[in-house]
Structure 1
């Protein structure tokens, strides 16, 4: 997954990683790990971030060819 949109949107809104952590109730460590691409956030965690940043989460189901 590519989480660059989170960092880009946060920067556009003038928020620091600490601001995002404070507004979402998540730890700064979690925010940093997600933005660096090293995290494996749950849908709930992503939803908290999306709510603060004014983003929408869309899930797509991919059918695998056999």
Structure 2
């Protein structure tokens, strides 16, 4: 998953990582981990971030070929 869109959008809106943490109610470490592609954020975490940034979260189910 490409999380760079989160950092790009946050920067475009003039928000710091701390601002995003405050607005979402998430920890600063969580925001940093998401933006760098570390960790394993839950869908709920990504939804909180997307809502604040005006983004839409889309889930795609990939078919597994046997």
Q: TM-score range by the shorter chain?
A: over 0.9
Where does the alignment leave 5 or more consecutive residues of structure 2 unmatched?
Answer: none
Q: What is the aligned-residue RMSD (CA, Å)?
A: 0.6
Where does the alignment leave 5 or more consecutive residues of structure 1 unmatched?
Answer: none
How far residue 64 of structure 1 moved from its aligned partner, in angstroms, is 1.0
User: Under a length normalisation based on structure 2, what TM-score does the superposition of the two structures give?
Assistant: 0.97
User: Under a length normalisation based on structure 1, what TM-score does the superposition of the two structures give?
Assistant: 0.97
How far residue 2 of structure 1 moved from its aligned partner, in angstroms, is 1.3
Runs of at least 4 residues of structure 1 off by over 4 A?
A: none
Aligned length: 66
Aligned mates of 1:62, 1:36 — CA distance in 2 = 24
